[in-house]
Copies of this chain bind each other. A is one copy, B any other.
Amino acid sequence: MSGTGDHSLARGLTPGEGVPFDDRGLAYGDGLFETVLVRDGVPQLWERHLGRLARVAAALGFPLPERETLEALPARAGEGLAVLKLVLTRGSGGRGYLAPEAPEPRLRWQVLPFSPDPARWWQGVAVRHCRLRLAVQPALAGLKHLNRLENVLARGEWRDPEVAEGLLCDAEGRLVEATCMNVFWWSDGGWQTPRLEGCGVAGTLREALLARGGIREVTAGPEVLDRVEALCLGNSVQGLWPVTRLDDTEGRPLARWTPTERHRTLQAEAHGLLGYPLQPDD
């Protein structure tokens, strides 16, 4: 099931292998990554993952691997549910921060078996606000690049396994995302999600849901959550979690919700995109 290091692709790929000392992904976080849900060898939201990968590489200014090289990877996952993690760095070379004129990107990947937690789908999760504020950097906003220290620091703010995620605001106090998920809430008669113009990662599930219509991108502070009818978190690996409790930065409860039909509707839409069950009995 685990495809780490078991096979080599054509063209010198070394799956699950590491990178040399002078790799710019290690030296500077000069690269990108994708984590893809794969069911029986079939990648979910694959076109959106490939599209984002291409956008990030273009924004950082390096070429993509051949499409067929990428296309060959999900099949390596074999039967069952797995996560394919791709890391694409600018490769080696250049002089310090100056990138080589003709970079030769380095692709690494690993497949790990994956089991989602159905309790989080059907009973919901507790989340908290993080103290850390995301810095505003429009040049990197939305991109799933390898500079993720802010996410690591934010995720380090709690260890209670009962708290599933932490919500992040930016330096100007706008709600952005959770540490590894996007945020959706029902308010003013519709679903809303933060605009990601200054920071945050534009998740592929978020993208796919936005493309179906019915979700509005908005600018809002965290106080908006105190009065929303429903709050959910989602990403393309875990699916969609209803939030049943929101704590402040000190872990004191701010709000509670019971999962309702409102949550179930968005969840069914998300899970339909990912091949996850649409309701508890499925």
Contacts and interface: CB of A to CB of B under 8 A. Distances in A.
A19 interface: yes
Interface centre among A96, A99, A136 (most CB of B within 10 A): A96
A245 interface: no
Interface string A130-161: 00111111011000011111111111100100
Given A16-B21, A132-B139, A136-B171, A29 B149 contact: yes
User: DSSP majority for the A interface?
Assistant: loop
Given A29-B147, A96-B180, 17 more contacts: A4-B21, A17-B20, A18-B19, A18-B23, A19-B21, A27-B87, A27-B146, A28-B29, A29-B29, A30-B148, A96-B155, A97-B151, A101-B159, A135-B136, A135-B137, A136-B171, A140-B150
19 contacts: A18-B21, A19-B19, A21-B108, A21-B110, A26-B87, A27-B146, A28-B147, A28-B149, A28-B151, A60-B153, A61-B156, A96-B155, A96-B180, A97-B155, A98-B155, A134-B137, A140-B153, A146-B149, A147-B147
Copies in the complex: 2
A93 to B, nearest CB: 12
Nearest to A141: B135
B28 A26 contact: no
Which 8 A-B pairs give the minimum distances between C-beta atoms? A135-B135, A29-B29, A135-B137, A97-B155, A147-B147, A28-B148, A18-B20, A97-B151
Contacts of A140: 135, 149-150, 153
Interface of A: 4, 16-30, 33, 60-61, 87, 89-90, 96-99, 101, 108, 110, 132-137, 139-140, 145-156, 159, 171, 179-180, 199
A33 B27 contact: yes
A97 B18 contact: no
A179 B97 contact: yes
